[in-house]
Chains A and B, each alone.
Chain A
Amino acid sequence: DSGVTQTPKHLITATGQRVTLRCSPRSGDLSVYWYQQSLDQGLQFLIQYYNGEERAKGNILERFSAQQFPDLHSELNLSSLELGDSALYFCASSVMDRGNTEAFFGQGTRLTVV
């Protein structure tokens, strides 16, 4: 167990809908990263938060948004869902937003858009 908790584990929804994925980082970790992993694809970086503030953005669609709350948990909001959004979404956390610190991954949320 990495200490990073993601909910839900599985999510099935229809096109056009909106969903929220939740991530609780390891205790003491201030930085949260969101990644998308599609079938046979690598880990595509979406967005990073550090202590409540957005720190870096990757290839995140405008239909997607995220935030990190004062208690450091993070939510990834996916709207106007398309079939191509079906993927495994990982959250990772680390102590800092820089330096040689390990990123710990949650178990992921498998999103299926039908």
Chain B
Amino acid sequence: GENVEQHPSTLSVQEGDSAVIKCTYSDSASNYFPWYKQELGKRPQLIIDIRSNVGEKKDQRIAVTLNKTAKHFSLHITETQPEDSAVYFCAARRSGGSYIPTFGRGTSLIVHP
């Protein structure tokens, strides 16, 4: 089955700095890569996703890049703000057959004012 590794487990930055979270996956058939943000005590919410037919996607201050050859994808947050503080999960899933989204272990992002 799919295995998703996520690094780092904790990331501490100053407000205004950039933050990068990296994930690798094992199943070359995976073709959909969502990122979820989970604030303390709340549900995970999708913030951005990327499909295998593109290499990069941006949405305001967040962007995701995908390298299918190397089987890794990354989340980039620019101009971080204290409200960006949360746990971020990457996931990978594939179409076709019976599959489920496999999540990384999460990255706790702390943005210091």
Contact = CB atoms under 8 A, between A and B. Distances in A.
A42 B106 contact: yes
Interface string A75-114: 0000000000000001000000111101111111000000
B60 interface: no
A107 B42 contact: yes
Interface residues of A, number: 23
Given A42-B104, A43-B89, A2 B45 contact: yes
Tell me if A's interface is mostly helix, strand, loop or mixed. Answer: loop
Contact of B103 (A42, A55, A107): A42
Contacts of A102: 34, 46, 49
A2 B43 contact: yes
Interface in B69-109: 89, 93, 95-106
B44 A99 contact: no
Number of contact residues on B: which range applies? 20 to 34
A104 B43 CA distance: 9
B43 A98 contact: no
Interface string B23-42: 00000000110101000001
Nearest to A110: B41
Given A42-B106, A99-B95, A58 B43 contact: no
B43 A45 contact: no
Contacts of A100: 31-32, 49, 51, 93, 95
A98 B95 contact: yes
